């Protein structure tokens, strides 16, 4: 059974991301504040749940949340600031969208929320001085495998995963040869064979190794 919260504060937010290891598509972050009486015996790390269960949980989570937010960071921004910074920036953007503002944040992983604030990049959202100050002011704790330990991080992981999968299904219709409806942009054998045959498209992360070292692309 997952724990309700890490701190004793009522407005505790959990945050997580999905798609960090993909070759194509966005990295998607989510943050959520759950009510103090929230409980769900099925909710777990989204990677441990079937697609059917995730889709069933998503509306239940959204209906019961005090507040939630989801953000996509797209390949041009990922390529510019790198995937680790993009993952963190996505979670930071989600925190700024929450209303009310959380009193405490728990973050899945090993980096605290206020790491790498205010990156000067050409793509995506630019943080204002006030937004940076707000993010710095909220105490936070990173928790390794937090999505398997706390309900609010698990809920964020489900939102991030389902919203990202939905987006990948949409762009699959534009580039069906990569079969993103099935592989969601992850580096499967099928996906890499399609990249080798057709080359990369505008949704691929060009800073990633799209093919094994023994294969090259004519770009």
Residue numbers in the known binding site for a divalent metal cation are 16-17, 108
Q: Which residues fall in the annotated binding site? A: 16-17, 108
Give every CB contact of residue 216 below 8 A, 6+ residues apart in sequence: none
d(CA 16, CA 154): 8
Helical residues (DSSP H) of 8-127, grouped into ranges: 51-64, 75-81, 83-97
Residue 37 is encoded by which pair of tokens? 């009486």
Three-class secondary structure of residue 159 per DSSP: helix
In the chain, count H helices and then E strands. 7, 5
d(CA 71, CA 30): 6
d(CA 18, CA 163): 9
């Amino acid at each position: 059974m997952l724990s309700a919260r890490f701190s004793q504060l009522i407005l505790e937010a959990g945050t997580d991301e999905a798609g960090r290891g993909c070759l194509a598509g966005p990295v998607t972050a989510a943050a959520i504040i759950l009510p103090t009486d929230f409980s769900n015996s099925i909710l777990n790390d989204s990677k441990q749940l079937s697609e059917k269960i995730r889709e069933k949980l998503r509306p239940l989570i959204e209906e019961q949340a005090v507040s939630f937010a989801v953000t996509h960071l797209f390949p041009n921004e990922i390529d510019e600031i790198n995937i680790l910074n993009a993952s963190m920036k996505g979670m930071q953007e989600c925190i700024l969208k929450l209303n009310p503002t959380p009193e405490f944040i728990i973050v899945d992983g090993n980096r605290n929320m206020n790491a790498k604030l205010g990156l000067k990049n050409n793509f995506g959202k630019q943080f204002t001085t006030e937004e940076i100050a707000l993010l710095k002011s909220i105490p936070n704790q990173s928790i390794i495998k937090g999505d398997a330990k706390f309900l609010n991080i698990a809920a964020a992981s489900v939102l991030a995963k389902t919203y990202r999968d939905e987006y990948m299904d949409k762009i699959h219709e534009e580039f069906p040869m990569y079969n993103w409806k099935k592989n969601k942009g992850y580096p499967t054998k099928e996906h890499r064979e399609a990249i080798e045959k057709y080359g990369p498209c505008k949704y691929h992360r060009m800073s990633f190794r799209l093919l094994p070292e023994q294969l090259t692309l004519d770009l």
